[in-house]
């Protein structure tokens, strides 16, 4: 089944947002299974399709042309080729004028995606929800789900001065200039204060949203590869996202949903709902833009 019961098609003419699956999990350091994330997110999304999402009060599919592009294809027998294959397939979608929501897959996919987005939009602000900073230093080009944002900074894909990582609760001695709103800080502040801090950091720049489901506490997202206790509740994450309507997002991924470790589709439903919130942000952006014109 497709995401939110959208039409499955490779035709991109007139499309605002293409949902793409990237079933890749060879970069994980612990539990695998995120290659099954796209199908789990699609299945869970059916539960929230064709209804008016709370608290938004409108159906984003009535304001945006959203399709399900299916999954990117690549050959697991040539693992070193996969990053460039993801990048080129993403570039093809972006060049059509459509934006994307990528269904992971492990978090590594964000790096080739950011290469494609930066080629299209220039250096971006990163809004990154995660238990980990994923910016460990790496000078040898390992394909890892723990080093993408180190490379994204060094390659000039993202501007660390306008980038923010939310929900962090593991150590990294060098955040590379990105702002950290740690999980502890989030727990001590309201979702409104967290959203304000994100908006202040992004400061009107075009932004990319990357959401690692392990930002959520394992109680709310057990089905993931590298869970860390002490994370956000689903309600906190939604409370923050629903207050980011004024951020100019150009794309999103939601990664690290690993269905073999999930139970009762808790994790997949959380992920699908967070994506629906993103689609509502994009729809309300468009509505406000139309109103200004
Ligand atoms: Mn991550």
Percent of the chain with pLDDT over 70: 98
Q: Are 10 and 70 in contact (CB under 8 A)?
A: yes
How much of the chain, in percent, has pLDDT values that exceed 90?
96
Q: Which residues surround ligand 1, an ion (CB under 5 A)?
A: 107, 130, 134, 212
**How close is the Cα of 28 to the center of ligand 1, in Å?**
10
DSSP string covering 90-118: HHHHHHTT-EEEEEESSGGGHHHHHHHHH
Per-residue model confidence as pLDDT tens digits over 212-221: 999 999 999 9
pLDDT band at 50 (very low <50, low <70, confident <90, very high): confident
Distance 247 CA to ligand 1 centre (A): 21
Residue 287 has pLDDT above 80, yes or no: no
- Residue 51 is predicted with a pLDDT of 87
The backbone torsions φ and ψ at residue 125, rounded to the nearest 5 degrees and listed phi first, read -80, 140
* Host H or E run for residue 247: none
As for how many domains the chain has, the answer is: 1
pLDDT at 146 over 50: yes
CA of 226 to the centre of ligand 1 (A): 9
Distance (angstroms) between ligand 1 centre and the Cα of 91 equals 22
Rounded to the nearest angstrom, the distance between the alpha carbon of 290 and the centre of ligand 1 is 35
Report phi then psi at 48, rounded to 5.
Answer: -115, 10
User: What's the 171 CA to ligand 1 centre distance in angstroms?
Assistant: 13
Residues in Cβ contact with 4 at an 8 Å cutoff, skipping those fewer than 6 apart: 19, 45, 46, 48, 49, 50, 61, 66, 68, 276, 279
Backbone angles phi, psi at 208, to 5 degrees: -115, 130
**pLDDT value, residue 293:** 45
Q: Domain range holding 144? A: 3-292
pLDDT digits 0-9 by tens, 109-138: 999 999 999 999 999 999 999 999 999 999
Residue 102 Cα to ligand 1 middle (Å)? 14
Q: Each residue of 247-259: pLDDT tens digit?
A: 999 999 999 999 9
Mean per-residue pLDDT for 275-281? 98
Give the confidence band of 291 by pLDDT, cuts at 50, 70, 90. Answer: low
pTM, to two decimals:
0.97
CA of 52 to the centre of ligand 1 (A): 30
Taking the CA atoms of residue 17, residue 22, residue 211 and residue 263 in that order, the dihedral angle to the nearest 10 degrees is 120
């Amino acid at each position: 089944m497709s995401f939110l019961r959208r039409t499955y098609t490779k035709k991109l003419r007139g499309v605002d947002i293409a949902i793409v699956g990237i079933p890749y999990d060879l970069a994980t350091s612990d539990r695998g299974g995120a290659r099954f994330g796209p199908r789990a997110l699609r299945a869970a999304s059916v539960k929230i399709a064709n209804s008016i999402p709370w608290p938004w009060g409108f159906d984003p599919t009535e304001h945006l042309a959203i399709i399900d592009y299916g999954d990117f294809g690549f050959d697991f027998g040539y693992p070193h080729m996969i990053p460039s294959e993801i990048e080129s397939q993403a570039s093809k979608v972006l060049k059509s004028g459509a934006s994307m929501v990528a269904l992971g897959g492990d978090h590594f996919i964000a790096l080739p995606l950011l290469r494609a987005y930066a080629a299209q939009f220039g250096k971006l602000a990163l809004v990154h929800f995660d238990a980990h900073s994923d910016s460990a230093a790496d000078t040898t080009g390992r394909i890892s789900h723990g080093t993408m944002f180190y490379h994204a900074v060094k390659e000039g894909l993202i501007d660390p001065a306008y980038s923010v990582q939310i929900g962090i609760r593991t150590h990294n001695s060098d955040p590379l200039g990105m702002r950290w709103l740690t999980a502890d800080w989030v727990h001590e502040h309201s979702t409104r204060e967290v959203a304000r801090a994100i908006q202040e950091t992004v400061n009107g720049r075009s932004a990319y949203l990357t959401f690692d489901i392990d930002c959520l506490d394992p109680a709310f997202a057990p089905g993931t590869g590298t869970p860390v206790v002490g994370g956000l509740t689903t309600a906190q994450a939604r409370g923050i996202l629903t207050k980011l309507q004024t951020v100019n997002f150009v794309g999103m991924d939601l990664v690290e949903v690993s269905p073999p470790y999930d139970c009762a589709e808790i994790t997949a439903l959380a992920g699908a709902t967070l994506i629906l919130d993103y689609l509502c942000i994009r729809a309300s952006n468009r509505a406000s833009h139309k109103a200004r014109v």
